[in-house]
Structure 1
Amino acid sequence: MKKGILVAVGLTALSLISCKKAEGGNKSIIKTDSSVVTDNNGKIDSASASSTIVDVNGKRYEKTDFVYKATDGALVKVVFKNDPKESTVAITSNKKTFTLPKTETKDGETIYKKDDMTARVKGDSLHLEQGNNVIELKRTKI
């Protein structure tokens, strides 16, 4: 019985020593992963966010995730994606995601539009319109 326990402990120790996980990952894909975002003035943004910069074949893509809160208290995940071809915003709520391409920027306000849905982003607020429905969202800390 003691020999069986000794053999089991020895095999477990041997398997833990021989199985090392590579912690480096694929370094050619993800260049930066940070939990702070800076605004246009270079100051750290007050809301918590997750920003990822990906470099694939010399092209740079940036995705920034935020959590917004509606006036009724519902939480909404908003992902801003900027790449050389287009900039989009993906709004996820109730297991549904709406992706809108950027159409214009003026007076510090960025407008994303697709079909009858329009998202206007200015500062920490997101104004979402679809038909006659208007939803006000404010960026929040998690």
Structure 2
Amino acid sequence: MKKSLLTLGAILSLAVISCKKSESGNKSVIKTDSTATIVTDTDGKIDSVSQSSSTVDVNGKKYEKTDFVYKATDGTLVKVVFKNDPKESTVAITSNKKTFTLPKAETKGDETIYKKDDMTARVKGDSLHLEQGDNIIELKRTKI
């Protein structure tokens, strides 16, 4: 009985050791091409701010969507998506599973203003100021 258990243990040990995992992985899984996006600021320097950006060209028209993570003064993280296409430019602000989408109203120098109803978003550099009635929320772009 002891010899059978030892033999079985040796066979199982050899089977475990001799098994190799295939380096190619599952053949039916589609591999994605991950490319690094380098973002530059207005001075041409590489921007170290965490962002995700995509540009799609449809029939010669460019649609651009850029995602940023902003942080409120109380520490809350907020996802902000800027969308520019030939028809309209919008900003979508998501926090606590709620999304507010504001269309672009005007641009004054280096400040862009988005408005909808009583909500206004002012974007200038790395800061975004949300105003809704008497409430003002200041957000800063985060570096991750």
TM class by shorter chain equals: 0.7 to 0.9
Q: Distance in 2 between matches of 1:33 and 1:117?
A: 37
TM-superposition CA deviations, 1:31-90 (whole Å, max 9, x none)? x96543222333222311111111223321111110000000000000011111111100
Q: Distance in 2 between matches of 1:136 and 1:83?
A: 27
Q: How does 1:27-66 map to 2 (within 5 A)?
A: 34-66=36-68
Match of 1:97 in 2: 99
Q: How does 1:71-90 map to 2 (within 5 A)?
A: 71-90=73-92
What is the Cα deviation at residue 137 of structure 1? 0.2
The number of aligned residues is 126
Match of 1:119 in 2: 121
Q: Which runs of 5+ in 2 are unaligned?
A: 1-18
The ranges of structure 1 where at least 4 consecutive aligned residues each deviate by more than 3 angstroms after the TM superposition are 16-25, 32-36
Q: How large is the Cα RMSD of the aligned pairs?
A: 2.7
Q: Which runs of 5+ in 1 are unaligned?
A: 1-8, 26-31
The TM-score normalised by the length of structure 2 is 0.75
- Name the structure with the higher strand share: 1
Q: Residue 106 in 1 paired to residue 108 in 2?
A: yes
Identity %: 76
Q: Distance in 1 between matches of 2:71 and 2:27?
A: 44
The TM-score normalised by the length of structure 1 is 0.76
Q: Distance in 2 between matches of 1:109 and 1:80?
A: 14
Q: Which secondary structure does the structure 1 equivalent of 2:105 belong to?
A: strand
